[in-house]
Amino acid sequence: MRAVVQLVKEASVAVAGDLKGKIGKGYLVLIGIEENDTEKDLSYICEKLLGLRVFEDADGKMNRSILDVGGAILLVSQFTLYGDARKGRRPSYIRAARPEKAIPLYEAMIEQLRAALPVETGEFGANMQVSLVNDGPVTILLDSERMF
């Protein structure tokens, strides 16, 4: 499982002009699910998201978590995080999980995160328009296989 985590002042996602989700301070999380991902991968990413200390404390140091600051998450599915462009010019998405595998894990992630803080989402598999105001900017890459 891969996640691109962006610290935002605000973020939103729309499908065909209809607003699906909107948050203020928190994370925009682009999440990619791989064919071999399990609940263990899901738990690893969720724990990392909730525990990351990237919000500034009173001294201006990145020392506070999203829970500490009362932030929210905008979670957007993105199979292209598993795009492999090492050969040729057209990425291969063979490692990305098929919807029948990815949707249950995506929904479980929403549930697990919502137990801790507010979560808004896009629409799985839809063509989405994502808007954000980066804060910092701060962007963190997470991978349950610890590739980075």
Give catalytic status of residue 121 as yes or no: no
Distance of CA 111 to the CA centre of its chain: 14
Give catalytic status of residue 80 as yes or no: yes
Q: Which two tokens stand for residue 55?
A: 């919000």
> How far apart (Å, rounded) are the C-alpha atoms in residues 71 and 118?
8
Angle between helices 39-51 and 99-114 (to 10 degrees): 40
Query: Catalytic pick from 6, 38, 55, 78?
Result: 78
> How far apart (Å, rounded) are the C-alpha atoms in residues 134 and 90?
29
Give catalytic status of residue 79 as yes or no: yes
* Phi, psi (degrees; rounded to nearest 5) at 68: -65, -35
Query: Catalytic pick from 6, 79, 112, 121?
Result: 79
Q: Which two tokens stand for residue 1?
A: 């499982």
Task: State the catalytic residues.
Answer: 78-80
